[in-house]
Structure 1
Amino acid sequence: MGQGKKGKRKKGGMGYIPYDYESAYRQSIESMNEWFIEQMGRYRNKTLYALKEIKAGDQFEVEIYPQFKNMDEVPEEGRRIVKDNSSAQKNLNDKNARKYLTRLINHNFGESDLWITLTYDDAHLPADGDIGKALKDVRNYIGRINYRRRKRGLKSAKYVYVIEYDEVADIRWHIHIVMDGELDMDTVEACWGQSSRNEVRRTRKDKDGLSGMAHYLVKEKKRIRSERRWNSSKGLKKPGVRVVHSKQPIKGNGSYKQISAYIDEMVKNQNYIQVQMEKWYPNLEFAEAEVRYNNFNYMFYIHARLRRKKE
């Protein structure tokens, strides 16, 4: 059932399960011919599609996916519970965790904050696999940072950090940190004390905000086995998430239609995705979109990325 004009949902999310829809739909629509797309349409006539809007700083994403009340209706690849903004999900080899952390960085950091890379000299280098020492070193470093900030009347630092190490690939221990830029760079570097070969620089947003830097930070790779692959300061703002089941054809104009009513045209003609996104979000600039499917249930996942228009 579609939403009313105010877009409110029934309490409890109408009983739909929060499955891993991104993993459930992995096959590119590019591999399908037009006839097959036409045939698939009859399987989704009664399917409820949700449209999720995610706002992270200047970046804006739209995810469109089918919803189900029973896990056995979900393609096998997606049969696990994944909740929005799940900060407890720390495994950066998981695509959803990397996606969440990229959004978190875009939402909390911006122009002229700090991008810090800390290294070790031989005298301070943790033993192979000793993630505990590396974590202790970073915690002590943050403690020294916050001590100096308090002395200057500043609040505690806002940050996200990732520890990198790969014995097989011969990658030495090092730490990447995104931090707010209120403390001067010389003091920030001096607080480390484990090496003299470090790098502290100001962040610079491009058309995709800080996504390029964030993608480097969270790139998929072999990591030390640990419960926490990334850590952050308390109080970071979570990206804004809103889920609806119906939208007007043009923002502020026309009767509300269920999201499923837009799916066929988006799948048949991917240029229509941009056209429709620009009608729904006229104040944003369209960047890119993709369509994926699963032949388990002949349904689709659509992801679009937009951004704030340049002034």
Structure 2
Amino acid sequence: MIPKSFIREKKIYCGSFLEVEIYRVYDVTKKGRKEKKQKSSLKMIQANEKNAKKKLRRKIAANFDRGDYVVHLTYAPEFLPDSPEEAEKILTNYIRRINNRRKKEGLPKMKYIAVTEWKEKDGGKIYRLHHHVIMDGALCRDTIEELWTAPRRKGEKVRPSLGYVNVNRLQPSETGFTDLANYLTKGIPNKRRWRASQGLKEPVVKKSDYRWSGKKLNQMAALVDVHTEWEKLYPEYWYSKATTKLDEMRGWMISIVMRKKESDVRNAKNRHTGDIARIERICSGKSCKRTKR
């Protein structure tokens, strides 16, 4: 006997972006336990990577926007940590220095998502260890770069730089931060470490069951590229992208990405500084003043 089913609309609100997933759900609330189908190792890895990319993309969009930064931190050979654990301690000290500087300038603690990434040679030797940090744009770029330093050694007047620092403005595309999330989650899942500041917003998820019929789902699957049809259904948003997948059991599954109409991504303001994001911030005060390390 085929169990009853219904169409679920799942809306995920991520800052200026809305993701919608529409798919069939079967009611399997029966007595007894259903035998679980074990996925292969490869399929599990692929599913984990897909979910990691999706989770990170939504987390970034819910908390960051144009005017914020993505910072890439590398190590000079003489400062290269021996292990990911040592690198995490160095990153912790770096974040502490940033927050100390922000406190002096009357700014709240930094909002961030940080990824530590590395590779291993045969024998388990660590190489290419580096960090990626997505952070809010309240502090000046120069200061962010200058604080990536090692402790001052005997005879040195300034703290030496730990390595190369690249600070870029976040650049969401029409689909949000998909490319950035893919980049930060590339490779084998256990070859990176994640951390984030406290108090970051979670994407808001709302589910609606029975709003869609099977007939309507099939109709919209055929109109997946017709942006006007989706903008009628979600009038507060512009259509960005939609994809479909045909499942043997559940039929059509639709995924849509949309962006809020009131947020002009070409002219969005930095929520921290009030500046237009496409114009490089002209900093004043101590945050842009080059000081001794």
- Partner amino acid, structure 2, of 1:286: Y
Rate the CA distance shift 1:93–1:264 in 2: closer, same or farther, 3 A.
Answer: closer
- Partner amino acid, structure 2, of 1:193: T
Tell me what 1:191 maps to.
Answer: 147
Rate the CA distance shift 1:108–1:276 in 2: closer, same or farther, 3 A.
Answer: same
Gaps of 5+ in 2: 40-45, 151-161, 265-293
Tell me what 1:212 maps to.
Answer: 179
Rate the CA distance shift 1:173–1:53 in 2: closer, same or farther, 3 A.
Answer: same
Tell me what 2:254 maps to.
Answer: 302
Q: CA deviation at 1:221?
A: 0.4
Counterpart check, 1:65 vs 2:23: yes
Counterpart check, 1:201 vs 2:153: no
Rate the CA distance shift 1:303–1:168 in 2: closer, same or farther, 3 A.
Answer: farther
Alignment of 1:1-311 (within 5 A): 46-70=4-28, 76=37, 93-127=48-82, 130-168=83-121, 172-194=128-150, 195-218=162-185, 220-224=186-190, 229-247=193-211, 258-267=212-221, 269-271=222-224, 274=227, 276-295=229-248, 297-309=249-261
Rate the CA distance shift 1:263–1:140 in 2: closer, same or farther, 3 A.
Answer: same
- Partner amino acid, structure 2, of 1:222: I
Rate the CA distance shift 1:66–1:298 in 2: closer, same or farther, 3 A.
Answer: closer
Rate the CA distance shift 1:193–1:259 in 2: closer, same or farther, 3 A.
Answer: farther
- Partner amino acid, structure 2, of 1:301: M
Residues 159-211 of structure 1: per-residue CA shift (max 9 Å, x gap): 00111111249961110111011111122122221523211232234433443
Tell me what 2:273 maps to.
Answer: none
Rate the CA distance shift 1:259–1:277 in 2: closer, same or farther, 3 A.
Answer: farther
Q: CA deviation at 1:61?
A: 0.9
8 Å contact kept, 1:245–1:259: no
User: Which secondary structure state, in structure 2, belongs to the residue aligned with residue 153 of structure 1?
Assistant: coil
Rate the CA distance shift 1:263–1:203 in 2: closer, same or farther, 3 A.
Answer: closer
User: Which secondary structure state, in structure 1, belongs to the residue aligned with residue 255 of structure 2?
Assistant: strand
Residues 74-122 of structure 1: per-residue CA shift (max 9 Å, x gap): 99478xxxxxxxxxxxx99531122011111011111211111111111
User: Which secondary structure state, in structure 2, belongs to the residue aligned with residue 95 of structure 1?
Assistant: helix
Tell me what 2:272 maps to.
Answer: none
User: Which secondary structure state, in structure 1, belongs to the residue aligned with residue 77 of structure 2?
Assistant: coil
8 Å contact kept, 1:131–1:224: no
Distance (whole Å) between structure 2 residues aligned to residue 63 and residue 273 of structure 1: 17
Q: CA deviation at 1:306?
A: 1.5
Distance (whole Å) between structure 2 residues aligned to residue 282 and residue 70 of structure 1: 34
Q: CA deviation at 1:57?
A: 1.8
User: Which secondary structure state, in structure 2, belongs to the residue aligned with residue 48 of structure 1?
Assistant: strand
Tell me what 1:254 maps to.
Answer: none
Give the TM-score normalised by the residue count of structure 2. 0.71
Give the TM-score normalised by the residue count of structure 1. 0.67
Identity %: 32
- Partner amino acid, structure 2, of 1:167: E
- Partner amino acid, structure 1, of 2:109: S
Residues 185-241 of structure 1: per-residue CA shift (max 9 Å, x gap): 1221222215232112322344334433333223x3025457xx3111000111121
Kindly report structure 1 stretches of 4+ aligned residues shifted beyond 6 Å.
71-75
Distance (whole Å) between structure 2 residues aligned to residue 188 and residue 135 of structure 1: 18
Rate the CA distance shift 1:244–1:153 in 2: closer, same or farther, 3 A.
Answer: same
Gaps of 5+ in 1: 1-42, 79-90, 248-257
- Partner amino acid, structure 2, of 1:307: R
